[in-house]
Amino acid sequence: MKFVKMHGLGNDFLIFDCLENGDSEHAPVWLNAERVQKLCDRHYGIGADGVICVLPSKVADFRMLICNADGSRAQMCGNGIRCIGKYVSDHGKTEQENLRIETDAGVRQLRLDKGTDRVAVTAVRVDMGTPEFVPEHISARFSYTGVSMGNPHCVIFLNKKEELDQIPMEVYGTEMEHHPAFPNGTNVEFAWIQDAGHIFVRVWERGCGETKACGTGACAVAAAAMRMRKCAMSVVVVLPGGELRVTYGTRSRHLYLTGPAEEIFSGEVKIG
């Protein structure tokens, strides 16, 4: 089966094109947790943070089905959906520059930027919808804000950049991912606000561990900081893999995520 490996700021995915034989309502028959784990294994498989299937949709232009590296299903992925936008455009699946993508968290709208040469997509802007907040909590270690961007996030602000750089992500990320307040697990973001225009973030993704970047995580952090009036309504979120811009639409009350997506290589893998 053919695949394309893509990434958004180092958050990498294996993209499988299931448009011809895929079902608009069900997952491909070959897609299961064990197979996803093998594909994503960086030593014995191809290696990735997740697997994405591009499927037909009855309610949008395309449907995105994404599984984390541990095989669990993800509702939404900001970096993954930008990769899908670039894939369907660059591979001739659509000529549109404004797309609607169905996800398990609902339909998201994308705007593709093809740059000056008008050939390949260089950046994608995603309407991420309205963030939903849950009451702030204090765990045994941290005070945190719960934010839903279609998937759950636990946002923890730190006082110093050094704290962010040195925090043992595997210890505290795992602890917070499985905190009793999140019975289905959660993504965890540790953040430091440099100034009104820049927030530095490290992410522990549910079902993946620490990743280079997380689009929904960047939005969750920005939403929490905006709510606290600690940053501007348009802010650059600096992640280990690079920068994303998150902007709040005062009329729509939606967050808009803008960032790059890149194709790394393509190949073929035996499924069976």
Q: Which sequence positions are flagged as catalytic?
A: 77, 214
The SS3 of residue 70 is coil
Q: Tokens standing for 111?
A: 């705007």
The SS3 of residue 83 is helix
What letter would DSSP give residue 185?
-
Distances (CA, A) of 69 to 32, 63, 78, 249: 11, 20, 16, 33
Q: Tokens standing for 252?
A: 């729509």
Please state, in angstroms and rounded to a whole number, the distance separating the CA atoms of residues 218 and 231. Answer: 13
Give which of 149, 125, 133, 127 is closest to 216, Cα–Cα. 149
Please state, in angstroms and rounded to a whole number, the distance separating the CA atoms of residues 217 and 139. Answer: 20
Q: Tokens standing for 72?
A: 């669990």
Strands 123-129 and 132-138: unpaired
